[in-house]
Structure 1
Amino acid sequence: MTRHLLVPGRGIPRPEHWLRGLAEAHPEYRWAPEPPGPPLVLKDRVAALHAAVSESAEPAVLIAHSAGCITTVGWAADHAGPVRGALLVTPPYIDGFEPDDPSDLPWRVPRRRLPFRTVLVASRTDPYTTFAQFEQFADDWGAELVDAGDVGHLDSASGFGPWPEGERLVSELG
């Protein structure tokens, strides 16, 4: 059996957001952490993800959007656990961004190969990351790059509620 952990971005996903739709369609999926909304304190998010991954020896698939991708990569840089794979959807390019909370970790995205299978979904029209930056993330993390086309940030504001391609990618990871 495989656990599925949903790693939210900076804000609370709207009811029509594809990540919220996954949670509703699959009540066995668990938020890690529960969507708290701003401000985003990366060290707290990493700690919550670590607690969720560590609570069982059962393998997990991490499903992350936006800043949740940074949480996932930050967790993998300093922790290990039974993770089978990760779906990273439109990670933002935040190198040099200063955290809202001065006690937070500096936001320097780790660039090491991830120790589990990773699929990175990239957009050609994301307002936070260029396609070349997505390609560099995929190369650095050893991720398979999926070109989703002109999908903005692949969020509610870009018109994404249900996202069948995302469901397919999750099922392929386990």
Structure 2
Amino acid sequence: MNDAVRILLLPGWLDSGPGHWQTRWEALHGDRRVVQDDWEWPKRGDWMARLEEEILADPRPAAFVAHSLGCQLVAAWAAHSRHTDRVRGALLVAPPDTERPDTPPQLHGWRPIVRQRLPFAATAVVSTDDPFCAPERAAEMAAAWGATLVQIGARGHINAESGLGDWPQGRQLLDALLAPQS
């Protein structure tokens, strides 16, 4: 992978805890977590503004590694930012369906889901038994975003409870996404 590309970790609702693969990647690979001001009642505009600040704070190109609501953040940010050319790609892991009737009220501000094609390469990684998104809905989002869909079987919400550890397969997907195209 190109060392000049900085990896920005975009956790979802309530952040990623100590056993989460994003937290492990932060420690193992030196990836940078984008810290939001409010993890409990996330406001889409506030999260987008924070991501924009992070992009503008460093001139190096970035790659996003988003989990859950972080995937919705990437889509919303990309639809509004004038700085999408600074992003080399996005690994979108376990995008949630925030339009489901059982969506917690804290996440209603993330409706409707932004379905604009992403202006950079993307890979969406989904599980067949994600409790927050049916596989069909995840496939629809990936298609709308122009992302390559990778199904990894029954791994729940692809989080700490999924038993992924350092999730080397996820890192391989990121490396492939960012590999120079010949």
CA–CA distance in structure 2, aligned partners of residues 148 and 48 of structure 1: 30
CA–CA distance in structure 1, aligned partners of residues 37 and 6 of structure 2: 18
Structure 1 counterpart of 2:106, from 100, 111, 126: 100
Q: Which has the higher helix share?
A: 2
Structure 1 counterpart of 2:92, from 69, 84, 88: 88
CA–CA distance in structure 2, aligned partners of residues 36 and 21 of structure 1: 22
**Farther off after superposition, 113-122 or 163-172:** 163-172
Structure 1 counterpart of 2:23, from 20, 23, 32: 20
TM-score (norm 2): 0.86
Tell me how far 1:105 sits from its aligned partner.
4.7
What SS class does the counterpart of residue 100 from structure 1 fall into?
Answer: helix
The answer as to whether partners of 2:89 and 2:122 remain within 8 angstroms in 1 is yes
CA–CA distance in structure 2, aligned partners of residues 88 and 113 of structure 1: 13
Mapped pair 1:109 → 2:134: no
Structure 1 pair 160–93 and aligned structure 2 pair: CA distance change class (3 A): same
Q: CA RMSD in A?
A: 2.0
Matched length: 171
Unaligned ranges ≥5, structure 2: none
CA–CA distance in structure 1, aligned partners of residues 110 and 48 of structure 2: 13
The answer as to whether partners of 2:98 and 2:110 remain within 8 angstroms in 1 is no
- Per-residue CA deviation, residues 53-98 of structure 1 (Å, 9 max, x unaligned), is 1223321100000011111111011013200000000100012657
TM-score (norm 1): 0.90
Match runs of 1:125-140 below 5 Å:
125-140=129-144
Tell me how far 1:141 sits from its aligned partner.
0.5
The answer as to whether partners of 1:5 and 1:63 remain within 8 angstroms in 2 is yes
- Per-residue CA deviation, residues 90-129 of structure 1 (Å, 9 max, x unaligned), is 100012657539xx95521111110000000011000011
Match runs of 1:1-174 below 5 Å:
1-27=4-30, 29-33=31-35, 37-81=39-83, 82-95=86-99, 100=106, 105-174=109-178
Q: What is the percent sequence identity of the aligned residues?
A: 35
**Farther off after superposition, 74-83 or 116-125:** 74-83
CA–CA distance in structure 1, aligned partners of residues 69 and 110 of structure 2: 14
What SS class does the counterpart of residue 171 from structure 2 fall into?
Answer: helix
What SS class does the counterpart of residue 40 from structure 1 fall into?
Answer: coil
